[in-house]
Amino acid sequence: MRFLVAFLTGILFGLGLIIAGMANPTKVQAFLDLAGVWDPSLMLVMGGAIPVASIGYFLAKRRGKSILGDVLSIPAARHVDRGLLLGSLLFGTGWGLTGICPGPALLLPAFHLSQGLSFLLAMLAGMAIFELFSRFVLHKPTDQH
Amino acid sequence: MQIDGLHFSPLASLFGGLLIGLAATLLLLFNGRIAGISGILGNLLKPSTTGRAWLLCFVLGLIVSPLVYRLFHALPASSVLVSDKALIIGGLLVGFGTRLGYGCTSGHGVCGIARFSGRSILATLCFMLAGFVTVFVVRHILGGV
């Protein structure tokens, strides 16, 4: 059942990304291009997603456990560290350069096979490099949202 | 600032955003899990992760979502106007940066902000800022990559 929920919510999430225009990197870059001809659509994507996710969060928190009986895996509040700031700045740089973030990266090969795979494989390589970096340089276990 | 009236898609983007929020809500309510894509992918890549089957189910759902969409409708327009070199560099930055920064547009930008997490709000400001600056530099100073 948990696997089915994960699969179906993955599909729903993906459909949301496609309908929202997030599977079009050029549109995402048009949102990030404040000095050009600006496309504000992405503000509405967040404006739609955040309130609904917020309701979900408060409902889940009030229940205390998930409907299928799992403990809620919500990241515990942690201090802001250099990794949070530097990592987010690096991510934003890559996002601006391409107009692609991790969710749409998984859909893009269905739209543009070779370009989509180039980005996706590079992104997975970047994640793998981080694993090596955190294990051998930072000596820190990795954990995230 | 000039608004792109031709490509601005307020209703579709709002509706897509609602679906993204609904997917995040259902995953949290049923499975107790946060729909943060970079975290899900990163944990899939990490050898020490236990119970990774649901991660794979969610990722598979995302990957097949364009095919599900196509059952009902032709896929919407999408274009990638950046070079392969930019895709590779951008992919590496997105992969490494989201892992170092503990999350991406979904984990911080939607789920984190939805539960009023200060670190997620800060992370979102950082990647948005970096995205705006990068597009400005690439398009208006360097003249494209």
ipTM of the prediction: 0.95
- Residue A83 near residue A20 (C-beta atoms within 8 A): no
pLDDT > 70 fraction of chain A, expressed in percent and rounded = 94
Nearest to B114 by CA among A97, A17, A52: A52
Q: Give chain B positions within 8 Å (CB) of A66.
A: 28-32
- Residue B94 near residue A95 (C-beta atoms within 8 A): yes
pLDDT digits (tens, 9 = 90+) for B106-144: 999 999 999 999 999 999 999 999 999 999 999 999 886
Contact between A101 and B105 using a beta-carbon 8 Å cutoff? yes
SS3 A141: coil
Q: Give chain B positions within 8 Å (CB) of A110.
A: 63, 66-67, 75
Pick the residue from chain B with its C-alpha nearest to A5. Answer: B27
Q: Is B78 left (phi over 0), alpha (psi -120 to 50) or beta?
A: beta
Q: Which domain holds residue B90?
A: 10-141
Chain A CB within 8 Å of residue B75 CB: yes
Residue A116 has pLDDT above 60, yes or no: yes
Chain A CB within 8 Å of residue B61 CB: yes
A120, HSE (Cβ side, Cα atoms, 13 Å): 19
- Residue B91 near residue A133 (C-beta atoms within 8 A): no
Q: Tell me, yes or no, whether B44 lies in a domain.
A: yes
- Give pLDDT, residue A100: 98
pLDDT > 70 fraction of chain B, expressed in percent and rounded = 99
Read off φ and ψ for residue A38, nearest 5 degrees.
-85, 130
Helices and strands: H and E segment counts in chain A: 6, 1
The rounded distance, in Å, linking the Cα atoms of A112 and B31 is: 32
Spatial CB neighbours of A66, under 8 Å, sequence gap ≥ 6: A60, A72, B28, B29, B30, B31, B32
Of B9, B92, B127, the CB nearest to A88: B127
Structure token pair of residue B106: 């979904």
Residue type, A93: T
Q: Tell me, yes or no, whether B99 lies in a domain.
A: yes
Q: Tell me, yes or no, whether B1 lies in a domain.
A: no
- Residue A49 near residue B20 (C-beta atoms within 8 A): yes
Q: Tell me, yes or no, whether B18 lies in a domain.
A: yes
Tally of structural domains, chain B: 1
Q: Tell me, yes or no, whether B2 lies in a domain.
A: no
Tell me the nearest-neighbour CA distance from A62 into chain B, angstroms: 10
- Give pLDDT, residue A125: 98
Of A44, A90, A120, the CB nearest to B17: A44
The rounded distance, in Å, linking the Cα atoms of A49 and B17 is: 4
Strands (E), chain A: 37-38
Place A77 in a pLDDT band, splitting at 50, 70 and 90: low
Of B14, B103, B123, the CB nearest to A44: B14
CB atoms within 10 A of CB A140: 10
